[in-house]
Amino acid sequence: MRPRLLRLLLVAALGASAAAATSAAQQAPPGSAASPASAKSQKKQSKPKREARVTAPREQPPRESKPKVFKGVCRVQKAKPFLKRESFVVKGQLQALPHQRAVKYRVEHYGRLDGVPFEKLNPKNAYAYAKSVRFLGLPIQVHEKVAPALSCVETRIRKTCNAKGRRYVPKAIGGFRQANTYRGGEVSNHLFGIAIDIDPERNPCCGCVDPWPNHRYCKKDVKKVEEKTELTACWIDAFERYGFYWLGRDTLEDTMHFEFLGDPERIIP
C-alpha cells in the first residue's frame, strides 16, 4: 500500500469513529455518564444554540403586539418625574404646560375624561377600564392596566411587612372616582383609576383644605411627614418599588394616597 493511500484510509476511519461517538452522545439518556470525548462534542454542539438564543429577541414582533399574561411578577420601576405633582404644581400654582403634558400622557395611556383636554387622543373613557379587584382582602376598583402592579404591592407587603408591632392592617380603601376632588383645574389620578387611598382617618392629608389640617396627626410637632401617618415605611417602600408614588412626599402631605406614575406598558415583564 502506498503511504498516501494509507494516510487517507486512516483519516476516514478516525472520522467514522468520531461520528459514532457524537451520535452516541446525542442518544445517551440525560444523566448518563458520558466519555470525555462525547462530553467535548456536546459542548461544541451547545455553542451555536446559545448564540441563537441571544439573537432571537431581535426577530420577535414589537412588545405592544404581544398580549402579556400576568403571572404574579412585576418589573421594579420608578415613578416618572414629569408625572409627579411637584413637577406641575410649584408653590401652590398650577403650571399650565407641565400639567398638560402629564394629563396628555394619562389620557393616552388610561383613557379620556369628559371635559378634560386631549379627549380626542383616546376614544375610550377611562372608567370603561375599571376593574374590580381585592387589595389585602378589601374590594377596590382600579384601572385594569395597573391592577397587576397593585397585586405585586400586596404580595410584597404580605412577604415583608409583618414585623412585630409594625404590622398595618387596612380597614377602608378607595380607588376609581368619577368626580374630581381637586380645585383649580388639577386633574385627580383617581379619575384615571390609578390612585388609591388608604384609611383617611389614620393617614390624613395635612396640606388639603379644611378640615384636614385640624386632624390630630397634622397638629403633631414633628419633622418628618412619616410621623403624621400610621402607614409604615415598609408599606411605602412596597408601593414605590412597583412604580407608585406616595403623595405624602408632596407639599399636600396626602399620606393616605398612592398613585401609579410608572410606565403602565412595562408593569409585566
Region binding Zn ion by CB under 5 A among candidate stretches 31-39, 55-63, 193-201, 213-221: 193-201
Is residue 112 a contact residue for Zn ion (CB under 5 A)? no
Query: What number of chain residues touch Zn ion (CB under 5 A)?
Result: 3
CB of 117 to Zn ion, least distance (A): 22
Q: How far is the CB of 63 from Zn ion (least distance, A)?
A: 31
Burial class (CB in 10 A: 0-12, 13-18, 19+), 228: buried
Decide whether 38 or 190 has the Cβ nearer to Zn ion.
190
197 vs 250, which CB is nearer to Zn ion? 197
Residue closer to Zn ion (CB basis): 38 or 242: 242
CB 174, min distance to Zn ion, A: 7
Nearer to Zn ion, 41 or 207 (CB): 207
Minimum distance, C-beta of residue 152 to Zn ion, in the bound complex (Å): 20
Enumerate residues 6+ apart whose C-beta is below 8 A from 167.
161
Piece of 5-13, 57-65, 154-162, 195-203 that binds Zn ion (CB under 5 A): 195-203
- Helices 3-27 and 36-59 cross at an angle (nearest 10°) of 70
User: Does 197 help bind Zn ion (rule: CB under 5 A)?
Assistant: yes
Interaction residues for Zn ion, span 126-165 (CB under 5 A): none
Of 153, 212, 150, the closest CA to residue 181 belongs to 212
What cell was used for 35?
466519555
CB of 205 to Zn ion, least distance (A): 8
Least distance from C-beta 162 to Zn ion, angstroms?
26
Choices 35-43, 52-60, 187-195, 213-221; region in contact with Zn ion by CB under 5 A: 187-195
Residues 6+ apart with CB under 8 A from 204: 212, 215, 217, 218, 228, 229, 255, 256
Q: Which residue has the cell 388639603?
A: 208
- What's the CA gap between 264 and 145, in Å, rounded? 6
**Which residue spans within the chain are E strands per DSSP?**
89-90, 93-94, 130-135, 138-143, 173-174, 195-198, 244-246, 257-260
Place of cell 398650577: 94
Asked if 257 touches Zn ion (CB under 5 A), the answer is yes
- Residue 99 or 257 having the CB closest to Zn ion: 257
Task: Give the shortest CB-177-to-Zn ion separation in angstroms.
Answer: 8
Per CB under 5 A, residues contacting Zn ion are: 195, 197, 257
